[in-house]
Structure 1
Amino acid sequence: MQRRRRPGSAASICRLAAFALAFAGPVAPASAQTAGRLDAQSDANDAMNDAMFATPNAATPAPLSNLYATSPDLEKQIPSPQFRANALLPLGWNSNAEEVSRGGTSTGQWRPVGNLSWATPVGDLPLRATVAGFAETDRYFRASNVNLDKTGGSTRLQYVDPGNDQAFSPYFVFAPRWDFTPTFDNQISARQDFNLGFNKRFNLDGDFRQAPIASDSSGAAVWSLGLTAFVQRRLREPQTSSYAAFVIPSMSYSISKNWNASFAVEFIGRWFDRNSFGFFANNYEIQPIATVEYVVPAEWLGGERNAALLGRPALDLQSSYLKVWSNAPGGGFEQWQAVAALKMGWRF
Structure 2
Amino acid sequence: MSTPPSPRPASPSPHSTIVVSVLHPAKMGGICHCRSDLSDRQAGHAEYPRRFVVDCDSTLLGSMKPFRRQIVISTGKSDWDYDITATPDTLAAAVAQAQPPPPPPTEPITIELDEKASAPLIPGVFSSLDYTRLSILNGSHQTLSAEEDEQTCLVLPDYTVVVGVRPSDAPELWRTALDASIPRFGTSQSARFATHVLPFACVILLCSHKRRDNRCAISAPKLENAFMRSLEAKGWTAHTQLEHIVDPPLEKFSGTAEEKERHIADELRTLPATKRALILRNSHIGGHKFSGNCVLYLPSGSCIWYGRVTPHEVESIVENTILGGLVLPTLLRGGMNISRPGCPTLHDW
TM-score relative to the length of structure 1: 0.23
Larger Rg: 1
Return the structure number with greater strand share: 1
TM-score relative to the length of structure 2: 0.23
